[in-house]
Amino acid sequence: MSEYIEWSALGNVLLFGILVGAGLPALFALGVRTVAGPSARDAEGNVPTGRKVLGGICFGITLVAVLGAVAYIAAGGH
Amino acid sequence: MVAVTESLLLLVVVVATALAFDFTNGFHDTGNAMATTIATRALKPKQAVLLSASLNLVGAFLSLTVAATIAKGIVDANVVTLGVVLAGLAGGILWNLLTWLLGLPSSSSHALIGGVVGAVLAAAGTSGVLWGGLLAKVLLPALIAPVVAIIVGAIGTRLVTHLTRNVKQEDNDRMFRWGQIGSASLVSLAHGTNDAQKSMGIILLALIAGGAVPADSGVPFWVILSCALAMAIGTYLGGWRVIRTLGKGLVELESRQGMAAETSSAAVILLSSHFGYSLSTTHVATGSILGSGVGMKGASVRWSVAGRMFVAWLITVPAAATVGALAYGLGAVIGGEAGSYVVFGVLIALSAAIWVASRRKPVDHNNVNEEWAPGEGDAPAGTDETVATVDTVDTVDTVEAVDAIRAVDAEESPERAAVGVAGHEQGGDR
C-alpha cells in the first residue's frame, strides 16, 4: 500500500489539521468562555477590562488566521 | 490531439458543456460550505447561498494558476481529444445531477475524473488509464479524506463544547454564529478558487485543441468571467437536497458544532493541497460534519445516511466512467461532429428528465430545514421511504406517495403544504 499512499503528506495534513482545524475553534471557544463564561461578569454585571482584552486576543488570533488563509488562497498556494 | 478541421460549432458545444459542468459543480457543492450555517440558522437559507455564491465568484478571480490539463497523472494525456472531454463532462454532469436528485453529496471532481476515465477506456482501452494514479490520487483519498476530517472535526468539537459547557446557550449561539459564518465563508472562497479553475482549464484545453488560441495562451478573460458566473449562479440556486442531507440528515447541529466542523473543513482542505495531497472538498466537509457529531456528547450520528454516502463515493468513479464510456461510444458510433452533437442533445434530454423527476418532491429554501423524518435518506431523498426504487422518473407510485405526504402535511400545516405545492408548480427548487 505504501506506494499508493503518501504517508508523510498525510501525517502532516492530520497533524497540522488537528493543530489548526481543532485548535482555532478551541481558541475561539476560550474567547467565548472568557467574556461570557459563568464568572465573566462582576457584581454590577459588567465584564472586566482584563477579560475583554483576553477575549479580544483570542478572537483576534482566529481573525488573523482567517485573513492569513484568504491571503494564502489569493497567493495561489491553493 | 484534435484535428484542426473541427468546426467552431463543436468548440461551442464543448465550452457550453464545460460551463454546464461548472454550474452543476457550484450547485452540488453549496452544501459543503453552507449546510451547517443553514441548519443552525446562523444565516437564513437565501442569505447563506447568496454569501456563498459571492465568495465563489470572488474566489474564481482570486488566483489564476490554471493548467491546461485534465485528469493529469490519471489518464494518458495523449488520448484526451475533444470527444473524450465532451463524453467525460457528460459523465460528470449526469452523476452530479443524479446524486443531487438522491440528495447525496458526492465529489464533483471525482465525477469529472470518472467520466474522463470512462471515455478514455472507450477510446483507447485499458492502456489509456494510469491505474496506479487512479488508485493513489482518487480512490484511496476518497476513503482517507473523511477519516481525517472526522478526527479533526471530532477533536475540535470536543474541545469547543468542553470549554463552553458552562456558557449560556444563547451566548454560545450568538458568538459562535460569527465564527460559523467566517469559517463557512473560507470554505466557499477556497471552493471558488479551486473548482472554477478546473473548468477554466478544460475550456482552455478545448480552445487550444480547436486552434482558437495558441498553445501557450493564458486564460482569456471571457473564460474566467463565464466560469466564475456559472459556478456562482449554480451556488446561488443551491442544491437544496444536498444541503438538507448534510445539514439535517447526518447530525442535529448547533452553532458550536457548525463552527468546529467548518473550521476543520477549511483547515484540512487548505492543508491537504498545501502538502500536495489533495482531498475532495465534499469528502472533507462531510467528514467534518460527522466528526462534529462524534465529538459532541449526547449527539447521535445517523450512520445509515453516512453509509449511503460512502457507498456513493466508492461508486462515483465507476458510475461516472460508465456514463462517460457510453457517451463516447454513442459519439463514436454516429461518428464525426454529428456524434458530438447527438451526445450533447442526449445530455440535455437526460438532464431535463432528472430535473423533472426532482419536481415530484422539491426541496427548496422553504423546507430545507424541516425535521429529518425517520427513514428519510434510506430511500431516494425527496421521495417517501415507501418508494424503494431509484428509478423514480416514471413511477406512478412516487406521485401517489408524494401526494399522500402532501395530504398529511396539509392537515398538519396548511401553510407549509401550500408553500410546498406552489414551489412544486413554479419550480421552487431554486
Whether the Cβ atoms of residue B89 and residue B345 lie closer than 8 Å to each other: no
- CA dist B88 and B238 (Å) reads 24
A-B C-beta contacts closer than 8 Å: 146
- CA dist A39 and B303 (Å) reads 39
Evaluated on CA atoms B117, B352, B406, B394, the torsion sign reads negative
Residue at which a domain ends, from B358, B384, B417 = B358
Element spanning B350, H or E? helix B336-358
Q: What is the pLDDT of residues A21-70, one digit of tens each?
A: 999 999 999 999 999 888 777 777 788 888 899 999 999 999 999 999 98
B194/A78 touch (CB, cutoff 8 Å), yes or no:
yes
- Name residues whose C-beta falls within 8 Å of residue B394's C-beta, 6 or more positions apart in sequence: none
- Mapping DSSP to helix (H, G, I), strand (E, B) and coil, where does residue B211 land? coil
Nearest chain B residue to A24, by CA: B263
Task: Tell whether B144 lies on the interface with A, counting CB pairs under 8 A.
Answer: yes
Same domain, B381 and B313: no
Assess if residue A37 is contained within a domain: yes
Chain B residues touching A15 at Cβ < 8 A:
none
Nearest chain A residue to B190, by CA: A73
Residue B178 is placed in which grid cell?
460569527
A78/B268 touch (CB, cutoff 8 Å), yes or no:
no
Q: Residue B161 CA to chain centroid, in angstroms?
A: 30
Assess if residue A1 is contained within a domain: no
Same domain, B175 and B323: yes
Chain A residues touching B182 at Cβ < 8 A:
62-63, 66
The residue among A19, A32, A58 with the most chain B CBs within 10 A of its CB, best to mutate, is A32
Specify the pLDDT at position B211: 81
- CA dist B14 and B333 (Å) reads 19
- CA dist B171 and B386 (Å) reads 42
DSSP A37: S
Nearest Cα of chain A lies from the Cα of B107 at a distance, in angstroms, of 18
Same domain, B219 and B324: yes
Q: Domain range spanning residue A63?
A: 24-74
Closest Cβ–Cβ partner in A10, A25, A37 for B160: A25
Assess if residue A58 is contained within a domain: yes
- Name residues whose C-beta falls within 8 Å of residue B28's C-beta, 6 or more positions apart in sequence: B96, B99, B100, B105, B106, B108, B234, B239, B242, B282
Nearest Cα of chain B lies from the Cα of A43 at a distance, in angstroms, of 18
A73/B270 touch (CB, cutoff 8 Å), yes or no:
yes
Same domain, B383 and B283: no
Assess if residue A40 is contained within a domain: yes
CB burial of B390-422 (b: ≥16 within 10 Å; e: otherwise) equals eebeebeebeebbeebbeebeeeeeeebebbee
Assess if residue B2 is contained within a domain: no
B window 166-225, beta carbon within 8 A of A:
166-168, 171-172, 175-176, 179, 182-183, 186, 189-190, 193-194
Nearest chain B residue to A19, by CA: B152
Task: Tell whether A2 lies on the interface with B, counting CB pairs under 8 A.
Answer: no
B172/A36 touch (CB, cutoff 8 Å), yes or no:
yes
Tally of domains within chain A: 1
Task: Tell whether A45 lies on the interface with B, counting CB pairs under 8 A.
Answer: no
A22/B260 touch (CB, cutoff 8 Å), yes or no:
yes
- CA dist B79 and B236 (Å) reads 36
Assess if residue A49 is contained within a domain: yes
Whether the Cβ atoms of residue B402 and residue B361 lie closer than 8 Å to each other: yes
Tally of domains within chain B: 2
Assess if residue A18 is contained within a domain: no
Residue at which a domain ends, from B307, B332, B358 = B358
Place of cell 426532482: B358
Same domain, B149 and B269: yes
Q: Domain range spanning residue B430?
A: 370-430
Residue at which a domain ends, from B335, B358, B381 = B358
The residue among B163, B255, B272, B278 with the most chain A CBs within 10 A of its CB, best to mutate, is B163
Chain B residues touching A3 at Cβ < 8 A:
132, 136
A5/B186 touch (CB, cutoff 8 Å), yes or no:
no
- Phi then psi for residue B30, to 5 deg, are -55, -40
Same domain, B49 and B103: yes
Specify the pLDDT at position B393: 37
Assess if residue B3 is contained within a domain: no
B window 250-279, beta carbon within 8 A of A:
256, 259-260, 263-268, 270-277, 279
Assess if residue B363 is contained within a domain: no
Same domain, B351 and B375: no
Assess if residue B364 is contained within a domain: no
Specify the pLDDT at position A4: 81
Same domain, B326 and B386: no
- Mapping DSSP to helix (H, G, I), strand (E, B) and coil, where does residue B381 land? coil
Each residue's pLDDT tens digit in chain B (430 positions)?
444 445 788 889 999 999 999 999 998 999 999 999 999 999 999 999 999 999 999 988 887 666 666 777 888 888 888 889 999 999 999 999 999 999 899 899 899 999 999 999 999 889 989 999 899 888 888 889 999 999 999 999 999 999 999 899 888 999 999 999 999 999 998 888 888 888 888 898 888 888 888 887 888 899 999 999 999 999 998 789 999 999 999 998 999 999 999 999 999 999 988 888 888 899 999 999 999 999 998 888 999 999 988 998 989 999 999 999 999 999 988 888 888 889 999 999 999 999 988 888 888 888 888 888 776 765 444 443 333 333 333 333 444 444 444 444 444 444 433 333 333 333 333 3
Element spanning A61, H or E? helix A49-74
Nearest Cα of chain B lies from the Cα of A48 at a distance, in angstroms, of 17
| Complex ipTM | 0.91
Task: Tell whether B142 lies on the interface with A, counting CB pairs under 8 A.
Answer: no
Nearest chain B residue to A71, by CA: B62
Assess if residue A59 is contained within a domain: yes
B window 119-138, beta carbon within 8 A of A:
132, 135-136
Assess if residue A65 is contained within a domain: yes
Same domain, B193 and B252: yes
- Name residues whose C-beta falls within 8 Å of residue A51's C-beta, 6 or more positions apart in sequence: A34, A35, A40
